[in-house]
Amino acid sequence: MSTSIWFWLAFTAGVFIALTIDLAQFKHRGRELSMRAATQRTAIWIVLSLLFNLLVWKLRGPDKALEFLTGYVIEYSLSVDNIFVFVLIFAYFKVPPMAQHRALVWGIVGALVMRGIMILLGVTLVSRFHFILYIFGIFLVVTAIRMLFGRAGEPDFGKSLVMRFCRNWIPITPEFYGEDFRARVNNRWMLTPLGVALIVIDVMDLVFAVDSIPAVFAITQDSFIVYTSNICAIMGLRSLYFVLARLMNRFVYLKTGLAFVLAFVGLKMLAAKYFSVPTPISLGVVVLILAITVVVSIMTTQNRVATEDRK
């Protein structure tokens, strides 16, 4: 059963309306999100996604709804890794807290466009060349191995290709101009450091999408489910950032957990020819891995946090 074009248009319109309202509300507040406000908004985005899941259930049936939920959980968990990289990007560029929100919102807009294109391309390739799924599976397993055994360390954004390109080809102001991505200096338009940070965020999201989008294809090849589960997951990324940015030191085993998720999904794709893992089991395995990761991380860092609080 195909999805009506009107459903596609309604979903996309709803996404941009929600983003517009979110940005307008933040401008009206005139201050950065508190932990409480960020947590509330994160909960709202999750509830909205679950309500949309119920709509999918009603219009497409329980199987598609379960596929959406599983894809959403996978994408949401992988997006947490994005957040930790965003923290490093903002720290590198010394982005003020108030400006971080605007960069995140427009970063999400860029992600919507890029992921939409990548998903449609992926669906087209999979429908024509089924062996692409096995390539996706191998790629995910290799990525998982690299996450588990690769060298740890913070990326040096200053030496990245995108930064070298910006420095060599784009005029950049030495200081921020409020929340503007560009500024007119001496009758010349220049990119501000916030604008450069936005470019780096979009490039990094593109890199992460190369991992996350193939993961959903292990659950479903339905383009609408792949697209909506991706978009719903990243829609709450902005508010989730302001929650987790203060807690990033607590999730010490996050990469390990995500590596196991990617490994499971990749192996599922590779073994699909021989046996099929039901979607409920896939969802259960992913949730179990994430739950263990969170619990072990919190238990491991609990004593350290208690010691720091006593100082």
pLDDT average, residue stretch 216-231? 87
For every residue of 30-54, DSSP letters joined together read -SPPPHHHHHHHHHHHHHHHHHHHH
Asked whether residue 69 carries a pLDDT value surpassing 90, the answer given is yes
Between 152 and 192, where is the model more confident?
Answer: 192
pLDDT for the residue 50: 93
pLDDT for the residue 202: 86
Contact 77, 286 (CB under 8 A): yes
For every residue of 144-195, DSSP letters joined together read HHHHHHSPP----GGGSHHHHHHHHHS-B-SS--TT-SEEEETTEEEE-HHH
Lowest model confidence (mean pLDDT) among 52-56, 225-229, 273-277, 291-295 = 273-277
Asked whether residue 265 carries a pLDDT value surpassing 80, the answer given is yes
Between 151 and 16, where is the model more confident?
Answer: 16
pLDDT for the residue 214: 83
Contact 218, 73 (CB under 8 A): no
Lowest model confidence (mean pLDDT) among 56-60, 234-238, 286-290, 296-300 = 234-238
pTM here is 0.82
pLDDT band at 67 (very low <50, low <70, confident <90, very high): very high
* pLDDT mean across residues, the chain: 82
pLDDT average, residue stretch 122-149? 83
pLDDT band at 209 (very low <50, low <70, confident <90, very high): confident
- pLDDT tens-digit readout, 236-248: 787 888 777 777 7
Between 145 and 152, where is the model more confident?
Answer: 145
pLDDT for the residue 213: 80
pLDDT band at 271 (very low <50, low <70, confident <90, very high): confident
pLDDT for the residue 24: 72
pLDDT band at 218 (very low <50, low <70, confident <90, very high): confident
Give the C-alpha distances (Å, rounded to integers) separating 203 from 10, 53, 132: 28, 29, 24
